[in-house]
Amino acid sequence: MQMNIKKIAEMAGVSVSTVSKIMNNYSDVSEKTKKRVMEIIEQTGYSPSNSAKTLATKKSNLIGVIFAGELNVEFTHPFFVEVLNSFKKQMGVLGYDLIFFSNEKFISSGDYYSRCLHFNVDGCVIISGQKMEPAIRDLDMSSIPCIGVDLELRGKKSGYVMSDNVQIASKVVEHFYLLGHRELGFIGSTADSDISNQREAGFVKAVESFGLTLNRNWFVHGDDFFESSGYTAMRRLLESGSSMPKAVFAASDLLALGAIRALKEQGLRIPEDVAIIGCDDIEACKYTSPTLTTIRQNKERLGVLAAHMLYDLINNQSDGGSFVVEPALIVRESCGSRLSG
């Protein structure tokens, strides 16, 4: 039977105040009555209504999860999904559950701030990788604690986590350089993506710092971070009539996979004709042919950091800030080796 605090109080012969105090371990209730009431609570499996509790306390123990941007980066992108998985687990340990806002237009799409108020979330995490949009900025500037994943939030109750994209790019270029490659290309996502832009900028910087010459013809872009974008981008490069780079850095593993498909289709061999490095280190890297050399983002750590930062923000033990985590080169087959390449 559906229980509520009043029924528990009646069954125990105490007032609702007393039951409430027991549930929230106040000190002004005797051990004797506490035990009696607890037994009844156990028997009945009573769990206080979160709505009522939220209404009274203004704390919901709920964290809002927002997939921002037009890109269909919902549960489909392996990188974000893994970060989210780690985040969820950690947030659970900290005592919070997650609520996912649906993005459907008819719900005054994009008005994230009012949706946070509507659900009274204690904080939220925004998953993006795209440029800032107005709806996000409103949230960022509000007093609701927010953590961006791959999104630079700078509000007074905000913070963010991401990998060091400049370092990602420089590790790539260094690896290519050591393997003897001098003609380097880049495949990025849309110009709306901060992440892609940062990797591109880092790539350019690294190429120059190694004294190599840049060939802008070897820079191509897709519409998102997915496989088909990598494919079409590479096709465009192939059909451009320009010469081909000997090594290509793709801003995501899926982009790399798509590029490889286009290359193979053209009869080119990986890594003999073109070497490829991806980014993220998603699971699939291990199963592809060739297996994909990539830069690993520490997804588990990103999720845990996001959770702890958010927790601290919610409990006023922090003023936000950011964590940038170290990437790591994972060498597999798609670049060959000095000897073979």
Partner DNA sequence: TCCAAAAACGAAATCGGTTTCGAAAATATT
Partner DNA sequence: AATATTTTCGAAACCGATTTCGTTTTTGGA
Return the range that interacts with a copy of itself (CB under 8 A); candidates 5-13, 89-97, 210-218, 319-327.
Answer: 89-97
Rule CB under 8 A: choose which of 43, 93, 239, 273 binds a copy of itself.
93
- Choose among 105, 143, 151, 102: nearest CA to 126: 151
CA distance to 34, 184, 204, 265, per residue, from 215 (Å): 75, 8, 10, 24
The residues with which 160 forms a beta bridge, in sequence order, are: 148, 322
The angle that helices 194-209 and 165-178 make with each other, rounded to 10 degrees, is: 40
Nearest to 313 by CA among 164, 155, 162, 163: 155
Q: Which is nearer to a copy of itself, 99 or 329 (CB)?
A: 99
Q: Where are the alpha helices (DSSP H) in 133-180?
A: 134-141, 165-178
Choose, by CB under 8 A, the member of 15, 35, 55, 273 that binds a copy of itself: 55
Q: Is position 24 an interface residue for DNA (rule: CB under 7 A)?
A: yes
Is 43 a binder of a copy of itself (CB under 8 A)?
no
- Taking the complex as a whole, the smallest distance from the CB of residue 112 to DNA amounts, in Å, to 18
Looking at 71-79, 151-159, 164-172, 191-199, which segment touches a copy of itself (CB under 8 A)?
Answer: 71-79
Quickly tell me which residue has 């999860």 as its tokens: 65
Do 96 and 61 meet the contact criterion of CB atoms below 8 Å apart? yes
Q: Does 6 bind a copy of itself (CB under 8 A)?
A: no
Which of the ranges 8-16, 79-87, 187-195, 217-225 carries the binding residues for a copy of itself, by CB under 8 A? 79-87
Q: Which does 316 bind (CB under 5 to 8 A by kind): DNA, a copy of itself, none?
A: none
Among 232, 143, 121, residue whose Cα is nearest residue 187: 232
**Chain residues 26-85 in contact with DNA, contact rule CB under 7 A:** 27-34, 46, 48-49, 52-53, 55-57
Name the residue nearer to DNA (CB basis): 37 or 234: 37
Q: What is the DSSP string of 220-271?
A: EE-SSSSHHHHHHHHHHHHHT-S---SEEEESSHHHHHHHHHHHHHTT--TT
- Given DNA, a copy of itself, none, residue 15, with its beta carbon under 5 to 8 Å by kind, binds DNA
Q: Considering the rule CB under 7 A, would residue 5 count as an interface residue with DNA?
A: yes
Residue 43 touches which of a copy of itself, DNA, none (Cβ within 5-8 Å per kind): none
Spell out the long-range contacts of 3-6 with Cβ–Cβ below 8 A and sequence spacing 24 or more.
Answer: 3/44, 3/45, 3/46, 3/47, 4/46, 4/49, 5/46, 5/48
Stretch that binds a copy of itself, among 25-33, 151-159, 235-243, 279-287 (CB under 8 A): 279-287
Question: Which amino acid, one-letter code, is at 103?
Answer: N
Task: Calculate helix-pair angle for 134-141, 112-119, nearest 10 degrees.
Answer: 50
Binding site for DNA (CB under 7 A): 2-6, 13-21, 23-24, 27-34, 46, 48-49, 52-53, 55-57
Binding site for a copy of itself (CB under 8 A): 2, 45, 47-52, 54-55, 60, 62, 74-76, 78, 81-82, 84-85, 88-89, 91-93, 95-104, 106-107, 111, 113-115, 117-120, 227, 257, 260-261, 283-284, 286-290
